Chains A and B, each alone.
Chain A
Amino acid sequence: MIENRPFITVFCHLFLLLGVAIIAFPIWITFVAATHDAVRMVQIPLPLWPGDQFFENLDQTWNAGIAGGVNQGVAVMMFNSLVMAMMIAVGKIAISLLSAFAIVYFKFPFRMGFFWLIFITLMLPVEVRIIPTFEVVANLNMLNTYWGLSIPLIASATATFMFRQTFLTIPDELLEAARIDGAGPMRFFIDILLPMSRTNIAALFVILFIYGWNQYLWPLLITTDQNMNTIVMAIKQMLEAAEQAPQWNVIMMTTLLAMLPPVAVVIFMQKLFVKGLTETEK
């Protein structure tokens, strides 16, 4: 603190608390909605304080889902989301580690060509090439499969760049020492590079897990089978159902469940999360 003016400090705290309140308010309302029964949720004004139906709503949402809507508990969707998020995160990390290793540590023909090819993917978000990508996946018979959900999303320039950056900061002497110790390329990769990159891998995992979990457009296109739906997709279907018969208690419980895993990851792995976010921007 530069000057000792308590008034300013108090003001800052008040303002920050207000900011936190504004940011948190929608979640509070969601939580409250998820604790009342359907009847209470159509009486205006809606409650601002939690009710006692939390576990009933949880039970219904988890096992049965919304009436007249998806007609399926969200448990399956949660599982699908989890599988998709894990596959995307692990897949991206694996292939990016390997290609970054090749590009940084090997001199081979077309090295820069490969690098630029990977770089280009940065400029081709799935949203701008939806139809042809969908066609490719359809032709490969990957619709309604976990592979179709994840593989087209796992090529990643960002992750490759981050690992490239990490590897470049590892002193050359370590490779020399390893070579004198008799370690070949893969041995060096597994024994030295991987353990030395583990915080970066963890940080990236946090970011990619969130990225994978929150995918929306892609699962929407790829899964026509209800059993393959992800929870984030389900929100949309429930909102549509709400047009006919609003069951906000169930919808909001679903919403709560849909954001729980990624939010928990951010809060409990905050350090890794912040590192991941800032590192990938380099």
Chain B
Amino acid sequence: MLKRVHFGPSVLPFLLVAPQIIITLVFFIWPTSHALYQSLLIEDAFGLSTEFVWFENFEVLFEDEHYLGAFERTTIFSLLVASSSMGFSLVLAAMADRVIKGSMAYRTFLIWPYAVAPVVAGALWVFMLDPTLGILTYGLGAMGYEWNHKLNGGEAMGLVVVAAAWKQVAYNFLFFLAAMQSIPKSLIEAAAIDGAGPVRRFCTIIFPLISPTTFFLLVVNVVYAFFDTFGIIHAVTQGGPAKSTEILVYKVYNDGFVGLDLGGSAAQSVILMIIVIGLTVIQFKYIEKKVEY
């Protein structure tokens, strides 16, 4: 943590950390504590009077079926995003790990979507699946399927999941491939000499060995789906139709900025913070494990 050899006390270190600390206090700690405080208040519609109500906002939230619905939806959404994106990139990485020749070229072609903003990803897919003009809609129509995510909640969810997962494939692929390439070749060769075929080797050697990476990516993907996909939802479906794609982050924004329910929105923020803290702790536990491994 600290170097064995270091500089002695002076004002300099305080000056060095000052910019970071001031920004942290002003833009992180203060707003957060404000949110914590606000989550315990109820304000009337005109902002004229506020009342301290302890945990009433939370109680209301947990009795609110819209909120519980959003919770459930967010869970489903994240699991769908994580599993589809990780599944697809795992298979691709396994293939790329095998081919030796060209694996780096494939990497180049597969990782760039990382740089695409979520909202841009949303725009790409909403264009292809536009109910009247979309090229995929046309293709689905030709196969006899009527696609309209503006009316069908399930299809709307499908759209945002695909857009979110598409962008995340890049990240997952990169990490899966790196993990696979770090497995010593001799292990794979030993398994081959033991008579294990490619599929069997993958299931019994490679997959177990990359399990720390898999777990790490699961956490990262869930965090991504929880928070970073705001842009996709906001630009593509606005949580609709009929709240079918309203995930927690979107609801915080919507209730606070559009609905102006500050107390309720603050309480939702607090719950989200608890979720991030939980996920961060899990992630750090993983890092400790990785060091041993």
Contact = CB atoms under 8 A, between A and B. Distances in A.
Is there a contact between chains A and B in the complex with CB atoms less than 8 Å apart? yes
A255 B13 contact: no
A45 B6 contact: no
A interface bracket (residues with beta carbon within 8 Å of B) = 35 or more
Nearest to B272: A128
Nearest to B253: A130
Given A2-B192, A127-B272, A104 B2 contact: yes
B272 A236 contact: no
B40 interface: no
Interface stretch (A11-19, A50-58, A70-78, A197-205): A11-19
Interface residues of B, number: 103
B89 to A, nearest CB: 9
Contacts of A277: 114, 171, 174
Contact of B3 (A130, A172, A185, A210): A172
Contacts of B2: 103-104, 107, 111
A157 B178 CA distance: 24
B28 interface: yes
Interface string B163-182: 00010011100110010000
B227 A155 contact: no
B88 interface: yes
Nearest to B27: A152
Nearest to A128: B272
A128 B276 CA distance: 9
A267 B108 contact: yes
A182 interface: no
B8 A107 contact: yes
Interface stretch (B45-53, B61-69, B128-136): B128-136
Interface string B242-280: 000000010011001100001001100100110011001
A106 B7 contact: yes
A105 B3 CA distance: 6
A121 B116 contact: no
A103 B12 CA distance: 11
B99 A13 contact: yes
B123 interface: yes
Chain B interface mostly helix, strand, loop or mixed? Answer: helix
A190 interface: no
Nearest to A246: B133
Contact of A16 (B12, B106, B227, B287): B106
Interface stretch (B16-24, B70-78, B153-161): B16-24
Chain A interface mostly helix, strand, loop or mixed? Answer: helix
Contact of B166 (A23, A101, A152, A236): A23
Contacts of B236: 239
Interface string B116-138: 11111111111110101111001
B34 A19 contact: no
B60 interface: no
Interface string B8-48: 11101110110111011111111110110010000000000
Nearest to A27: B124
Contact of B124 (A30, A45, A214): A30
Interface centre among B20, B135, B235 (most CB of A within 10 A): B20
Contacts of A239: 123, 126, 235-236
25 contacts: A1-B98, A8-B198, A12-B95, A13-B99, A16-B102, A19-B88, A23-B113, A29-B135, A102-B14, A108-B9, A108-B14, A117-B25, A127-B227, A130-B252, A131-B256, A131-B266, A132-B38, A136-B30, A214-B120, A216-B231, A220-B234, A232-B119, A232-B231, A262-B115, A263-B112
Given A41-B133, A151-B27, A186-B12, 4 more contacts: A24-B109, A29-B128, A103-B17, A124-B32
Interface of A: 1-3, 8-9, 12-13, 15-16, 19-20, 23-24, 26-27, 29-30, 33, 41-42, 44-46, 48, 94-96, 98-99, 101-109, 111, 114, 117-118, 120-125, 127-133, 135-137, 151-152, 154-155, 160, 167-168, 172, 175-176, 179, 185-186, 210, 213-214, 216-217, 220-221, 232, 235-236, 239, 246, 248, 251-252, 255, 258-259, 262-263, 265-267, 270, 273-274, 277-278, 281-282
